[in-house]
Copies of this chain bind each other. A is one copy, B any other.
């Protein structure tokens, strides 16, 4: 198939573009019309076969995850997703693969507002780079730098579940053998946290004006909290017992990556404004004077995590 036939296959089932997409796929570039008084938020992330996803991952699952991890970055800024571009590098492609890939994109973007507006195809070792863009009312971005002493630290859901799912995939050859036959709707629950992470897009937007700092848990909770502390020139203390954990032990969970929950700080007087949206927002610690992150056991002693967090490079 030619490049243009493949692009047609990728776009075959796309619904009509919304009015704020002045030009979608098919010209030299996409053109978006932002709402007045908005800022534009941009992020990009690459998934490489064998490093960020297992060989044999079916195209819809690959697409889903590639888009979700990017939407998570928008969520962490409090931005409303608008469009995304997909730069797909693959050794070869056919129409069926492309159709499944775009189905995965649609599944990951459902209800998020994000629409496929452009991209690029190139031949090479399988890797997917998604670039997402979203909008924010001017000056309302949730930065890493706004945490202040006394703020309460929250996480939007359990951590460790993605690591647990990755361990199933790594340790069970039968599960890996079944992976190519899975589709987005058929992924076993034990694998969903890793294969189909949920970007907390609605929560991110709800946290504007409430959270003082925000990040998504992609590198591991301790490492990501350390980013907030560095940028905010503060320290953090985490109560290990309060931490919502799933599938692994707490000292592993705090250094596990890929959870894509939001980790955010809230001044105490604004905690009553936190949204009631079905997510279990859990207070896990406090921002303090100083630098670095301390992990405290129930008996008040500081404990060390299992190992260092995930490095994307």
Contact = CB atoms under 8 A, between A and B. Distances in A.
Interface of A: 2-3, 6, 22-23, 26-34, 36, 38-52, 73-74, 76-77, 79, 83, 85-87, 89, 93, 117-125, 127, 129, 131-134, 136, 138-139, 141, 143-145, 214-216, 231, 311-313
A46 B46 CA distance: 11
B43 A32 contact: no
19 contacts: A2-B313, A26-B144, A27-B231, A28-B74, A28-B76, A28-B144, A31-B41, A33-B40, A33-B138, A34-B39, A42-B83, A42-B85, A42-B118, A43-B85, A44-B85, A46-B87, A50-B124, A85-B131, A129-B129
A235 to B, nearest CB: 19
Given A28-B144, A44-B129, A51 B118 contact: no
A33 B83 CA distance: 17
A41 B23 CA distance: 9
Nearest to A139: B22
A133 to B, nearest CB: 6
A45 B120 CA distance: 6
Contact of A89 (B39, B127, B214, B215): B127
The 5 closest A-B pairs by CB, nearest first: A48-B124, A29-B43, A28-B76, A3-B313, A129-B129
A77 B39 contact: no
The number of times this chain is found in the oligomer is: 2
A122 to B, nearest CB: 5
- The A interface, classified by DSSP as helix, strand, loop or mixed, is strand
Contact of A120 (B46, B120, B123): B46
A97 B293 CA distance: 32
A143 B28 CA distance: 8
Contacts of A30: 41-43
Contacts of A41: 29-32
Nearest to A45: B120
A93 B311 CA distance: 14
A231 B26 contact: yes
A216 to B, nearest CB: 6
Contacts of A312: 3, 120-122
Contacts of A43: 28-30, 85, 118
Contact of A32 (B33, B39, B45, B49): B39
A32 B22 CA distance: 19
B42 A2 contact: no
Nearest to A216: B28
Contact of A122 (B32, B52, B79): B52
Given A3-B312, A34-B34, A123 B28 contact: no
Interface centre among A40, A87, A117, A119 (most CB of B within 10 A): A40
A218 to B, nearest CB: 9
A202 to B, nearest CB: 16
B28 A313 contact: no
A48 B122 contact: yes
